[in-house]
Structure 1
Amino acid sequence: PITDSVGAVVAILLGQPRGLQCGEAVEDATATIKNAAAQPCVSQLAGKHRHCPFPAAAIGISYGGGQKVSHLRHVRRPCDMPLNITSYPYQSGGFAMYSPQMYNCYNQTMEALLASHSDLCRNFKNSPWVVMTLNVGPQAVCFPHLNSRNLPWRWCSVTTFGEFNPNFSGHLVFWDLWLIIQFPPSTTILIQSALMRHSNTLVRDGEARYSITQYSAGRLFCWVENRLVSDKKCNAEAKQNPALKAKHDTACATCWQRALNMLSHQKEFWLQA
């Protein structure tokens, strides 16, 4: 775990899954991503964005535009995407181990969301995240950035693939922490991407790097906490209902403290003699 000055866990270096023939698994995953990136169904979803100079395709539940229910939608996986590694319960298992309270909050929120909207579904069975971004590269590295649409205190999962030498290329840089971390193919890192400014170092000529990011947009948590309405509608209803307004104001005032209470601390993982 990476911790802050008081021992709160702010990132997890999960590493590679055990029990897999790692070299073969990386080769298979990289080949699958290459093939998927070349398919028209992926290139139609992919588009350049402000975090990086390469195409990226987002698949899953989104909530944007005018923040109305009509904008709550699911961009489905239209073809054989590279799920042979990400479908393992490795990322979600690491999340549950190192941040159980936050993991439960994710799951409860997503279960409430999916129960109320039968047309929505998870990308992966039992996954706490509802969006996957496929960064197809072929040299996928990001500029220094924050993922401002994610809920600040909650984690996203980043898994990297490709054919590059991690001793020289593709490092993960945490600018505010003054940390540079090796990020080899097939490894996963869990980070608070809305709070921790991060980027990647370049890969060398002739190398290839891809990544898959899993996350849930912060607005989805607001939607569920607002009893399945937008902030605008929730505030309008609160003005007409003093009891509802008091409850809403209390929830807003205690939001950050509730978030801090969900963080795990390093001492929780120490082995007791």
Structure 2
Amino acid sequence: MTPAAPCHRRYGWQRKSSGPRRGTRTMMKMIWFCYAFPILMQEPRRTRSGAQFSPWDTFTAYDPAKLSALGFAVHQTAVSLEELIEGMERDRSGGTQEDPQDSEDEGHPDAEERTSGPLLPIHAQPQQFIFEYFSFPFIDPPPPKIGSSSPAASQPRLPLSPLVNSQPSHSSSRPASGLSHAQERKIEYNKNRRRKKRQRNAANPFNWATTSAPAHLVMSAQHVPVDFDASGLRSTKGGHWLGVRDKNPPKLKNQPESARWAKLQLPQVGELVDDLKRVYVSWDARRPLLILDRYGRIIVVFVGGPDDPEWPSVAAEAGEAMKRAREEGIRTNAFADDAGLHRRGRFYTLQSGVSHGGGQPCPRNLDISDAKQPLVDSLLGNKSVRRVCGFQSSAFRTWAPKLFKDYVTDLRDLFEHDPSLRLNFTNSIFPSVTFNLGSQSATFEHLDDKNRALGWCAITSGGDFDPTKSAHLHLRELNAVVEFPAASTAFIPSAVIHHGNTPLAPHETRYSITQYAAGGLFRYVKYKFRTAKKVLNEGGGNLKRSFDGVPGERHAAGISLFSKPEELLADHVACFGGKS
């Protein structure tokens, strides 16, 4: 005979059950309907004397509040020593002296049953025992006995037998929130899933992008049009990857680098406005300020900060962190003798991040001396500094979505190609940062020609100064002088627009955090992770021109990445999805 094939429930091994198994529940139902339920439903029986008798009378006749002996039913919970001795002598002599407490049962309808019934364990009360042991989820347990005024009735019962589970059954208990256990597990699962997603995104800022569009910011922005065409911004020939190098002032033969900048002076506001006829722009940092070119493209943006009353204190704490780093660097001789004078100004700086250029065979992390490394680490690990840099990246996405997406696409490929490259912050896409440590970080007019030609550089100022009189940001090509208060941020194409600050008063202080991206990083990615020299060696000028495009094509493509105010919401939808 062929043996019977095993009949296993299909996919039964995949089922996750939080309660008892199906076979156990079926057995409990059978016990209930075959044993317990018929006993509860049977009619009272009659004794030989004609009195009616119910199997439950024995258990309901006693008041549970008066039963305190472990496992036995007693009538009296407190007995004096004299009464015990008297009872023992009565038992020995066989006397039948009446107990004074027996008079309480005279005339009681259940007196015969109460005195003649068997003494059984407390946990042998069938109704309570059945419901506590089997924990039927489909039947409510019997209600407690009404009229019990003894304090013992409100006390929890002790488990008198290993078969009895005196705790509430899992199936009948519900969380305090009113949700079922399955609903709470689902909520907890979704919460953990979102937390893990945030952790993954936090480890890589290129994967994080919200779909919300800042409609309220776009509608409230202040527009400042200027008579300038952004297409005229100068960049290097060929691929237009970098800005044009600024040779003013020229370097003399055998002249130290610091001596080249020794005679430079910061221009006063009056000189810029009266003599150079630049437009003065007053700004209180409450509404975003957009500087538009002749065709309405957003070239420069000033933003005050996130909608948080604590933001000024965050920027102030970041400034204090830079002040502490400068003082510690001076104390430990971390800065060179001429480090306080350079082409950007008279103040100490610290840099960190990834760069490419100057003959490097590939992008690499910036070299930081052993003396400066603790100072850089203290700033990168500061919560306020991290928040400022994260806000810069977020505001970049808000006001230039097409440019932001282009940054993300190329920089993500770069960091995935070379895992040895390190980002400064997990909440910012900018690969490089410079901390201007003050105490008066006001820059000479200059170009950051090594940055991406038509990209943005983010600058956040901090310190204690009067923005109506000091530290203005002047932009040569746009012919503008803008008030730049502390705790506010500016975005400018620093590689193609000359920019600088006006001087501060002697008692004033100013610090700044700048994030940017070197143009060589994007060129390296577009060249299929090769340098320009290697491309020429492998394929000659034709291969290089295929990457660079026809003259002016890449420059025009870079200009098209600047959004217009009326197209900003549509650009957000096109780049990140969502609804406008």
Q: Does 1:55 align with 2:348?
A: yes
Q: Structure 2, unaligned stretches of length 5 or more? A: 1-289, 571-580
User: How far off its partner does 1:150 sit?
Assistant: 1.0
Which residue in the other structure is 1:141 paired with? 442
User: How far off its partner does 1:196 sit?
Assistant: 1.4
User: 8 Å contact 1:37–1:43 — kept in the other structure?
Assistant: no
Which residue in the other structure is 1:15 paired with? 304
Rounded Cα–Cα distance in structure 1 between residues aligned with 2:326 and 2:568? 40
More helix by share: 2
What SS does structure 1 have at the residue aligned with 2:334?
helix
Aligned partner letter, 1:39: E
Of stretches 231-240 and 43-52 in structure 1, the one that deviates more from structure 2 is: 43-52
Give the 3 Å change call, closer, same or farther, for CA 251–127 of structure 1 in structure 2: farther
Residue of structure 1 aligned with 2:364, choices 72, 77, 80? 72
What SS does structure 2 have at the residue aligned with 1:113?
helix
Residue of structure 2 aligned with 1:113, choices 405, 408, 414? 414
Give the 3 Å change call, closer, same or farther, for CA 206–249 of structure 1 in structure 2: closer
Rounded Cα–Cα distance in structure 1 between residues aligned with 2:308 and 2:548? 49
Which residue in the other structure is 1:233 paired with? 534
Which residue in the other structure is 1:32 paired with? 321
Give the 3 Å change call, closer, same or farther, for CA 63–249 of structure 1 in structure 2: closer
Q: How does 1:1-273 map to 2 (within 5 A)?
A: 1-40=290-329, 44=334, 47=339, 48-69=341-362, 72-75=364-367, 78=374, 79-81=377-379, 83-88=382-387, 89-239=390-540, 244=543, 247-250=546-549, 254-269=553-568
What SS does structure 1 have at the residue aligned with 2:398?
helix
Rounded Cα–Cα distance in structure 2 between residues aligned with 1:223 and 1:106? 13
Summarize deviations over 1:165-196 as a string: whole Å, max 9, x none.
Answer: 21211111112222111111111001111121
Of stretches 208-217 and 85-94 in structure 1, the one that deviates more from structure 2 is: 85-94
Give the 3 Å change call, closer, same or farther, for CA 245–198 of structure 1 in structure 2: closer
Which residue in the other structure is 2:204 paired with? none
User: How far off its partner does 1:85 sit?
Assistant: 3.5
Aligned partner letter, 1:63: H
User: How far off its partner does 1:161 sit?
Assistant: 0.8
Summarize deviations over 1:54-77 as a string: whole Å, max 9, x none.
Answer: 2211111122331312x6224476
Rounded Cα–Cα distance in structure 2 between residues aligned with 1:232 and 1:141? 37
User: How far off its partner does 1:22 sit?
Assistant: 3.6
What SS does structure 1 have at the residue aligned with 2:348?
strand
Summarize deviations over 1:243-268 as a string: whole Å, max 9, x none.
Answer: x4563253765211221221111222
Summarize deviations over 1:21-50 as a string: whole Å, max 9, x none.
Answer: 244334322221111222239963673421
Aligned partner letter, 1:72: R
Give the 3 Å change call, closer, same or farther, for CA 253–10 of structure 1 in structure 2: closer
Rounded Cα–Cα distance in structure 2 between residues aligned with 1:160 and 1:249? 36
Give the 3 Å change call, closer, same or farther, for CA 106–23 of structure 1 in structure 2: closer
Rounded Cα–Cα distance in structure 2 between residues aligned with 1:45 and 1:217? 24
User: 8 Å contact 1:160–1:188 — kept in the other structure?
Assistant: yes
User: 8 Å contact 1:62–1:217 — kept in the other structure?
Assistant: yes
User: 8 Å contact 1:60–1:75 — kept in the other structure?
Assistant: no
Total equivalences in the alignment:
268
Rounded Cα–Cα distance in structure 2 between residues aligned with 1:43 and 1:137? 16
Give the 3 Å change call, closer, same or farther, for CA 154–249 of structure 1 in structure 2: closer
What SS does structure 1 have at the residue aligned with 2:295?
coil
Identity of aligned residues (%): 29
Aligned partner letter, 1:120: L
More strand by share: 1
Query: Bigger radius of gyration, 1 or 2?
Result: 2
Rounded Cα–Cα distance in structure 1 between residues aligned with 2:569 and 2:413? 34
User: 8 Å contact 1:158–1:212 — kept in the other structure?
Assistant: yes
Rounded Cα–Cα distance in structure 1 between residues aligned with 2:378 and 2:317? 14
Aligned partner letter, 2:495: A
What SS does structure 1 have at the residue aligned with 2:563?
coil
Rounded Cα–Cα distance in structure 2 between residues aligned with 1:118 and 1:95? 25
Rounded Cα–Cα distance in structure 2 between residues aligned with 1:44 and 1:62? 22
Q: Structure 1, unaligned stretches of length 5 or more? A: none
Rounded Cα–Cα distance in structure 2 between residues aligned with 1:21 and 1:249? 46
Rounded Cα–Cα distance in structure 1 between residues aligned with 2:304 and 2:335? 29
Give the 3 Å change call, closer, same or farther, for CA 122–43 of structure 1 in structure 2: farther
What SS does structure 2 have at the residue aligned with 1:234?
helix
Of stretches 194-203 and 250-259 in structure 1, the one that deviates more from structure 2 is: 250-259
User: How far off its partner does 1:235 sit?
Assistant: 1.9
What SS does structure 2 have at the residue aligned with 1:53?
coil
Give the 3 Å change call, closer, same or farther, for CA 176–239 of structure 1 in structure 2: closer
TM-score, L = length of structure 2: 0.43
